[in-house]
Chains A and B, each alone.
Chain A
């Protein structure tokens, strides 16, 4: 804000206010005491007087034809009001001037002014002109200030509007998907249980354990491992390419391989393959279904007002849930969670999952882009006195000092190209959530490490 009073004084010094005061504002019967809120000049009314403020302060208000009145200017001691209407062509005031506090004004009427074209009138003009210029300047400044204030309020409004729209959109989407996802998940579980019984009954060759193995663990071998193993199997039991590949995927020990090979049953490998693949298919369906429900759930918590009550939950499990949402991004990153399972937090678990998701996701994105030698994310927690400390760090190369102060601002994003676009809301959401728990988050960088440290009061 510009300091009006300083500016006013500077101009007042240039102007010989005293001359005007002594010459025109001296009549005791033209000295009025105005109480707080009383009107001195009314909008649209003819004003034949010029007022000098001996003490107190007043404000001018403009009321548009439709809508609320608003403040146009303020004046204080040693300033003048009514200048515009006094000098304008129709002498009508464009504002209503009211006293902000008990105020004393002195006035002079038009008919008390010196005769036009007299030398005295010239002197009057010479003295009043700087006062008028000053008034114009002050009103102008007030307008500029209110416009820029309005501008920033509008900007903030649009920002929160943007977030609200996004939230509603997300909530709507999540709501639509939630039912579908839960049906898929529960039916997948149902069909898995029934398939277990069915496969067990149908099995007469001891193949059921292989169905269970892939059902529980999925395919654990990487494509490279499968190719190496395939060659080994071809050597070991002399089967064809395709059969060897099937067996390679199954994670069988050499003993198991031999055992299967010894069963003089030509169709055994195919049947074993079917058992294993049935298990794997169900495993993958269950993984995908639960991943979908998790994602939908977390979008729901992100978008809608989370009505769930505060509860005591385990910090470790909330971090693990966040971790499970990000499995895909974390595939090539060594992630260690060093958090004792006894640490509990009182609050909405969804809030905290969101905090961890945002922070771990940021770290993973940096690591996947920069691809350091051995990408790592380390999550640690400790209790110190009445505070709970959680830190999430990655060795993705740190953050430039010039960027460090900006990253918590909403709409700040480094992800602008191609598919990795970001809304830049992540860290500002994190900060908002944490501050609702009276917590804090800080960023430090050390060599190649970026460290986000969170402090929470222990409840």
Chain B
């Protein structure tokens, strides 16, 4: 089974704890990593890629010191190594312009506004993980318990 990663990026520790606690649902099947800055996340993504792992989903805050979440996503978008990664922007502070940038330039997959419901986050991440696995042609069976049934069904039907 391929080693898959979900990366959470958030500069406020209490919030980072909350995100990763909510996503611990996936931990049995996917490795969950936490980062406090976008730069740290970028380095980690590179490291994972170098070691032959794959990052499926990045959940990131937008406003952080240094690189912002949207900037990180734009950087990933323009890098062929990270093209397929699913991106979730989790923020309550993006301006209209930031959001437009995120959609147009970074092609984020989901935008979740703070404060969020843990069910929403879980569902979106599950959908994206499913899409990542099917799109990259990985065997989905080992991950089945944490995948999104309807999404998986639709994708397989269309294949």
Q: Which residues of A contact B (CB under 8 A)?
A: 218-219, 222-224, 226-227, 241-242, 245, 277, 280-281, 284, 287-288, 328, 331-332, 368, 371, 418-419
Contacts and interface: CB of A to CB of B under 8 A. Distances in A.
Contact of B13 (A219, A332, A418, A419): A219
Contacts of B33: 223, 227
B65 A241 contact: no
Contacts of B95: 418-419
Chain B interface helix/strand/loop/mixed:
mixed
Interface in B134-152: none
Given A242-B27, A277-B21, A371-B66, A223 B93 contact: no
B16 interface: yes
B121 interface: no
Contacts of A222: 36
B35 interface: yes
B14 interface: yes
A378 to B, nearest CB: 20
A284 B40 contact: no
Interface of B: 11-14, 16-18, 21, 27-28, 31-36, 40, 44, 63, 65-66, 93-95, 97-98
Tell me whether chain A's interface is mostly helix, strand or loop, or mixed.
Answer: helix
A218 B93 CA distance: 25
Contacts of B65: 331-332, 368, 371
A287 B31 contact: no
Contacts, number: 44
Closest 4 CB pairs of A and B: A284-B14, A223-B34, A223-B36, A223-B35
A419 B93 contact: yes
Given A223-B34, A227-B33, A419-B63, A218 B13 contact: yes
Nearest to B36: A223
Nearest to B14: A284
Nearest to B27: A242
Nearest to B98: A418
A288 B18 CA distance: 12
A89 to B, nearest CB: 62
Nearest to B66: A371
Contact of B28 (A242, A281, A284, A328): A242
A419 to B, nearest CB: 6
B87 to A, nearest CB: 19
B17 A284 contact: yes
Contacts of B93: 419
A224 B28 CA distance: 22
B30 to A, nearest CB: 10
A134 B27 CA distance: 91
